[in-house]
Amino acid sequence: MKIVTVIPLGKGIFKANLTYFTSKDIKNGEVVSISLRNKKILGIVVSSSPASLLKSGLKSMPFSLKKITETKKISIFKKEFIDSAILLDSYFVSQKNSALSVLIPSLFKDKYDRLEKTYEENNENKNTNNSIPKGIKTEKLLLQASFEDRISFYKTLIRGSFANKKSVFMVLPTEYDIDKFYQSLSKGIEKFIFPIYGNLKSQKIIEIYEEIMKSEHGVLILGTAQFLSIPRNDIGTVIVEHESSNAYKSIQRPHFDMRTFAEIYASKMNAKFILGDTLLRLETIERKNTDNLGEIYPMSFRTNFEKIKISVINPSKDRDDATKENTEQKTKKFRIFDDKVLEEIAESIKNKKNVFIFSLRKGLATHTLCRDCGEILNCDKCMAPVVLYLSKDEKKRMFVCNKCNTEKDPETKCSYCGGWNLIPLGIGTDTIYEEAKKLLSSENDLLDGLKAKIFKLDKESATTGNAAKKIIKEFEKTGGGILVGTEMSFFYMKDKVDLSVMASFASLWSIPNYKMGEKVAHLLISTLEKTDRKIIIQTKNEKDLAISALKAENLLPFVREELNDRKELGYPPFKRLIKITSIGNKENSLAIKKYLENALLKYNPDIFSGFVSKNKDKYITNAIIKIDLKKWSLPELSSGSSLEKELENILTSLPPSCEITIDPEDLL
């Protein structure tokens, strides 16, 4: 008899691996059927030992071992895939079975027998003979260039791969990105290119899987990271495209970064690994020096947006100038749109051209402040600031938490002082949408009585991808329409607009994030890529380095200064950051603070309250560790690296209430 440890592949993430017994000779990596909570689910075997070696341990178990009900003939998951998922758990300090639960599509578990049959039938195909020699260091390359130049390179790479009987997997962050690259790369290889993502119908995903597995010719797979689980054995190149996208990193626990998984997997497969984007993340750019990553072309920091005019308007400055001429302007009400912006909008509408108005946040106001005590109105459940929204029927206002979707009564009082004197602050999509409607329906001289259809796109107006596509389709077929949207809009806009307006850009600098300069640069690039004639940025921060760099069509000074600042402050990419967050009552928060101070003493942690430190009886405690890169990395990511064992033991032994984030996007 053998005792086997199994990673369950049921729905959700299990807190621990499970133990079963069997009389069969089962090897690591095999797929089995197990009984769990009166249900039959799949599991992957990660260890197997003779029962005789564990005899004393078996007697002390507080439960009876169950028998494995079935052993599948073949595992459709490559050993390299399973090993990479286990390493991902270690790097991000998550439970041992979390990565496989996240990375294997639910459909692959539900339809395992059908996929197993497909795999078995095609197991003798040429695509299963991986001729890449083991032990060879993975070639890792950077490709920072315009979209057009990257597409040109990929076409050459794909042709060369097919000639060498190799396949290419391009990892992309969103369905929009997959469609964009499919349209650009599919010509001439329609039979060998396969876009695949989770929102496709189940039957369509199965059909694509079967076509990929049956093809004896090399294939190009365009997919999200989950579909790296497709067991093609001839993958010679793994590309992570639109590498800067924040969609690669999961917001919810565990905070996996799919770019990291793709790199680990490519290394395990001995496949060439490429990171590509118009502007790579600064961490990635610096890896050219720290990890000796190669360049496909010398990295380009010049931009190719010279046909698009970039105009920066400081509304408050213009109002100050007007005040000198007319003291009555002192009482003038704050306006969202500067007169110059309205003039440009009017020009586009007159010419039947579309306009995009960007807002950083959805809702009417991004946060609400108590005038009596200065407290910010937060969610009772998760403590995130609540956002003021206009209901879908536009008849009432309500507070909603963007993090957990909890609603608050619009007549709510301050949780700290009990006051009613609450004031909404910040500009959201609803506010801009309402202002645009009002301006177009009023006697405004600058708009000259123009009429335009106005659309709104954020997570409230479009709760599904199909709903977002419908809004964009209607907007893009409208001549002279206006779209008010958040960053989400970039994922769905296919056609360029005549004019883009960054209406609430100033609020970006109010967010406490050490990556904010980089965020600004990426937002501007995304907007420029969707604009045909002109972009207007309304901001008081006229001298922002990212804006100046794009206006000068050269991002190199911006990148150098950002990297220099981070080096001086000991931020990534020069140090690894590990963030620990705990929420509890006052007593628990004091206890966890003391515990973290003692447990992490060797690592000199910074321990402080969260950006929102308190909400009713709940307190946020943060701890930040800065550690040398080589002491918290993997050999697959950087040669000579490892996970420091002592720190790993401390982190894995922290209470469940402690949320651990490796490479956090913000520190507060």
Strand ordering across the sheet containing 407-408: 386-390, 397-401, 407-408
Work out the average pLDDT over 321-346.
66
Residue 392 has pLDDT above 60, yes or no: no
Where do the H-state alpha helices sit in 398-544?
429-441, 465-476, 516-529
Residue 436 has pLDDT above 50, yes or no: yes
Q: What is the number of other CB atoms lying within 10 angstroms of the CB of residue 560?
A: 12
Amino acid identity, position 485: G
Place of tokens 């992957």: 44
| CB-count exposure of residue 444 (10 Å: 0-12, 13-18, 19+) | middle
440 vs 481: CA distance, rounded Å? 12
pLDDT of res. 402:
54
CA-CA-CA-CA dihedral for 442, 443, 449, 450, to nearest 10: -40
**Residue 458: which pLDDT band, with cuts at 50, 70 and 90?**
confident
More confident call, 419 vs 600: 600
Q: What is the mean pLDDT of the chain?
A: 85
Sorted by sequence, the CB contacts under 8 Å of residue 626 that are 6+ apart come out as 570, 575, 576, 577, 604
CA-based R_g, the chain, Å: 27
Residue 665 has pLDDT above 50, yes or no: yes
Select 309-360+451-553's CATH number: 3.40.50.300, 3.40.50.1000, 3.40.50.720, 3.30.360.10.
Answer: 3.40.50.300
Domain 576-662 has CATH 2.40.160: no
**Residue 499: which pLDDT band, with cuts at 50, 70 and 90?**
very high
Entry pTM: 0.86
419 vs 415: CA distance, rounded Å? 8
447 vs 436: CA distance, rounded Å? 11
- What the block records as the tokens of 323 is 């005040």
Q: Among 287-301, 445-459, 526-540, 572-586, where is mean pLDDT lowest?
A: 445-459
570 vs 549: CA distance, rounded Å? 24
3-state SS, 534-571, equals EEEEECCCCCCHHHHHHHCCECHHHHHHHHHHHHHHCC
Amino acid identity, position 20: Y
Q: At what angle do helices 147-163 and 175-185 cross, to 10 degrees?
A: 70
Work out the average pLDDT over 555-571.
94
Residue 614 pairs with which residues in a beta bridge? Answer: 619
Work out the average pLDDT over 260-273.
97
Give percent above pLDDT 70 in the chain.
80
| CB-count exposure of residue 327 (10 Å: 0-12, 13-18, 19+) | exposed
pLDDT of res. 585:
87
Class of domain 112-295: alpha beta
Q: Mind listing the pLDDT tens digit for each residue in 345-369?
A: 999 999 999 999 998 876 545 556 5
Q: Mind listing the pLDDT tens digit for each residue in 174-203?
A: 999 999 999 999 999 999 999 999 999 999
Sorted by sequence, the CB contacts under 8 Å of residue 12 that are 6+ apart come out as 101
**Residue 507: which pLDDT band, with cuts at 50, 70 and 90?**
low
Work out the average pLDDT over 454-464.
88
Residue 144 has pLDDT above 50, yes or no: yes
Q: Among 49-53, 311-315, 422-426, where is mean pLDDT lowest?
A: 422-426
| CB-count exposure of residue 298 (10 Å: 0-12, 13-18, 19+) | exposed
Residue 660 pairs with which residues in a beta bridge? Answer: 580
Q: How far is CA 302 from the centre of its chain?
A: 26
pLDDT of res. 194:
98
Q: Among 184-193, 306-315, 321-330, 512-521, where is mean pLDDT lowest?
A: 321-330
Residue 332 has pLDDT above 60, yes or no: no
Work out the average pLDDT over 424-450.
76
CA-nearest of 355, 366, 361, 357 to 503 is 357
CA-nearest of 101, 89, 247 to 660 is 89
Residue 521 has pLDDT above 60, yes or no: yes
More confident call, 577 vs 614: 577
3-state class (DSSP) for residue 115: helix
Domain boundaries, the chain: 1-72, 112-295, 309-360+451-553, 576-662
Residue 447 has pLDDT above 80, yes or no: no
- What the block records as the tokens of 589 is 């928060």
Work out the average pLDDT over 107-124.
88
Residue 370 has pLDDT above 90, yes or no: no
CA-nearest of 98, 93, 61, 178 to 576 is 93
pLDDT of res. 463:
84
Q: Among 59-68, 73-82, 279-288, 462-471, where is mean pLDDT lowest?
A: 59-68
pLDDT of res. 314:
82
Residue 293 has pLDDT above 90, yes or no: yes
pLDDT of res. 131:
46
Place of tokens 């199965």: 206
Work out the average pLDDT over 254-281.
96
Q: What is the number of other CB atoms lying within 10 angstroms of the CB of residue 350?
A: 13
Same CATH topology for 309-360+451-553 and 576-662? no
- The most confident of the ranges 101-105, 273-277, 568-572 is 273-277
